[in-house]
Amino acid sequence: MNILLKSAKIVCPENKELHLKKRDILIKKGIIEKIGAAVEAPANTKVVEKDNLHVSLGWFDSSVSFGEPGFEERETIANGLFTAGKSGFTDIVLNPNTNPVPDTSSDVVFLKERGIGKATKIYPLGTLTKNSDGVDLAELYDMKNAGAVAFYDFKKQVSNPNLLKIALLYAQNFDGLVYSFPQDGDIKGKGVAHEGEVSTKLGLKGIPALSEELQIARDLFILEYTGGKLHIPTISSGGSVKLIAEAKKKGLDVTCSVAIHNLFFSDETLTSFDTHFKVSPPLRTKSDCKTLIKGVKNGTIDFVTTDHIPMDIEHKRVEFDNAKSGSLGLESAFGSLNTIFELEETIVFLTKGRSRFQIVPPALKEGSKACLTLFNPDGEYTFEAKNILSTSKNSMFVGSTLKGKVYGVINNGQSTL
């Protein structure tokens, strides 16, 4: 596959020579062969010319769910990877949100093999415990050798503190990364929305920020005792940002992420009782949103994620209390972030995070493998159902005004242009 990108504005802050310069980029057999002001197209080369064409290193997402195996009606791996590629993502960390869950090395191998030859690469997570039941540790070492980049019981708290202690100690033997979902289930109880003024007015059972912050505080105490590497996915409260900032000042090896929808929306959107806005952790207050955005900007929050969770209509078109949590996020990721942040910030947030998962970051230079995302950062539009490429259609961003358009990716010798 030979491709020539014409007059592409490069957004790559780490490459000062090329950053914000317009260049032609010639890609031959998946390798960046030449970057120049005017590059001639060799024979049998696809020339790509797009309106206001911009290019950056390929984007990375640390929290994506599909459905296969077990929930193929929500999303297959093939269509999920197609959606990710068209949305600008060249690399995704795949959540263990399947049936059965990936708790053995053979499960991890299956997931990796399903992604072979695609423009978007899969980096699977294995579960932390067998069957994600929170009792016995899964085959962490074997799964790491098979390609699992970390270990996570998806959206489930590690309720047994001793189990987290043992996991952090054991994983140090092979430099493993342990996840802990930030929510105390006992305090959450039957809550379905952030506990506050909005939930009280609407009569919805509340989930206090305390449920998240107490869990994080406990986990950080354990991490300080054991050492090791801890990742806290999708925090949602301002108090959590402060706790993690303090832990980092102590030198603890902890990272965290935030879902884009927790930056973009507050709990005030729940007045319509639209179940697309039911997520876990829940949307919180505007004050929390502001603190989270500040945490992303100052680096306390290590990376943003779509927290993309396809969910079939049967689990969303029900009463708010009974609906399952989760929203799509891949298709709206760039447009929403580009609305909140400046372009250069947005690209930094979309490209950082690989090293935490021991994924080799790409480079934008001659001789490197092409791992590129193509986009137009300008132009506002209303996100509609027609913009959704996923099999499921449960996006809370439908009706939102977003900014910018993704053209696709070039990666792994493939293209979604």
Start-to-end CA span in the chain (Å): 12
The predicted pLDDT at position 274 comes to 97
Angle, CA of 219, 220 and 225, to the nearest 5°: 100
Per-residue pLDDT of the chain (417 residues; tens, 9 = 90+): 799 999 999 999 989 999 999 999 999 999 999 999 999 999 999 999 999 999 999 999 999 999 999 999 999 999 999 999 999 999 999 999 999 999 999 999 999 999 999 999 999 999 999 999 999 999 999 999 999 999 999 999 999 999 999 999 999 999 999 999 999 999 999 999 999 999 999 999 999 999 999 999 999 999 999 999 999 999 999 999 999 999 999 999 999 999 999 999 999 999 999 999 999 999 999 999 999 999 999 999 999 999 999 999 999 999 999 999 999 999 999 999 999 999 999 999 999 999 999 999 999 999 999 999 999 999 999 999 999 999 999 999 999 999 999 999 999 999 999
Q: Which of 24, 153, 184, 307 is catalytic?
A: 307
DSSP character at residue 157: -
At position 266, the amino acid (one-letter code) is S
DSSP character at residue 287: H
Residue for token pair 């449960």: 394
Residues 389/87, Cβ–Cβ less than 8 Å = yes
- Clarify whether 288 is annotated catalytic: no
Q: Which residues contact residue 157 at a Cβ distance below 8 angstroms, ignoring those fewer than 6 apart?
A: 134, 180, 181, 182, 183, 184, 185, 215
The predicted pLDDT at position 382 comes to 98
Task: Name the pTM for this structure.
Answer: 0.97
* Domains (range + CATH), the chain: 57-357 (3.20.20.140)
The predicted pLDDT at position 1 comes to 74
Residue for token pair 């007045």: 271
Among 366, 372, 387, 416, which residue's Cα sits nearest to residue 54? 372
The predicted pLDDT at position 297 comes to 98
Distance between CA atoms of 389 and 332, rounded to whole angstroms? 11
Residue for token pair 């108090």: 239
